[in-house]
Structure 1
Amino acid sequence: MTRKKKTRKTGPLAPAKKPREEQQRKAPETTRKHKGKGKRPGSRFNVERPAQRSSSGSSAAQDPRKGSKKPIQLVSAAATTATTVSQSAFNRAAAEAELQALENDVRLQQLLAAIEAGTDLTAEEEAYVDERTERFEQLAQQLGLSLDGDYEDDDWEDDDD
């Protein structure tokens, strides 16, 4: 016996096919658009513009993604006052000790003597002298010391004339 290959043909026992015209009429009824859930894809990047309201409030279109423009306080008021008090607290003893250390700095004294003698200093030595003298002036100002080297005795003389 020879093998019979299966076919897709239905044969005489199958129900008759409906005409194509009738199938096309029924197709739109059965295939309907399903109700979507959620927002459309890409809604985060493709922001829809709301309908323009005629003569209302703001003239510029506002982006709905942006929040309130009201400034908020990032740090509590108690923390800011505590930091200002701690910064304003001045350690006088430490400042005086640093001032004494600068006055007794051997390298600084040698470089200042070299400057008075007219010797040229290297850029590194000049930077060192500038840095130390600037810090000395800051400390003296904080401690309320006068840096004037000219002490005039005229202020102390008695006018007996």
Structure 2
Amino acid sequence: MSRKKRSRSSGSNEQLVTIKTRTQHDLEGLQRKKDKKRKGLKSGSRHSSVKVEDARAAAKRKDPRHGSKKPVPLIIEPKKPMTKQERRLTAEQELAMLENDAQLMILLDRIEAGEKLGAGLQKQVDEKLDRIEQLMDQLGLLEEDEPEMDAEAYTKPASDDDLLDKFENMGFDDFDKE
């Protein structure tokens, strides 16, 4: 054992020296050895990281035109022409289409503004409005105008004397008094 040098001062202020056991020395040594081993990069890291990145990049760079799974027809089948039932729109669809027609709306706005349309445009507007009226009548959406009163009820009396007689003959007694 090594010799300790004695000092003249008292030993009460000195730090206590803990003596490590053999197992603690061994554990510290193993820890230092592990740390030394981990100084550099992992072995083969140059190659392994590139492979992972290449796999990701290859997935991104894959051409979408390659490897289509859609079956390719070998015989071209002629397209079936649409039947009249398929071509014919329902009355509601046709009415909605005509009511939302942008060109018709523009022409109607021009007419309301007082602008005169050419014969062709006016004919087109008239045809579309007639078709809208037919469809509304077919669907029962067309409101009938008030029935016209008899022409005799609106005829002008012959003279002022006839008006005076009519006024005098009115029965005012029939009205409720308030």
TM-score between the two structures when normalised by the length of structure 1: 0.34
Instruction: Decide which structure has greater helix share.
Output: 2
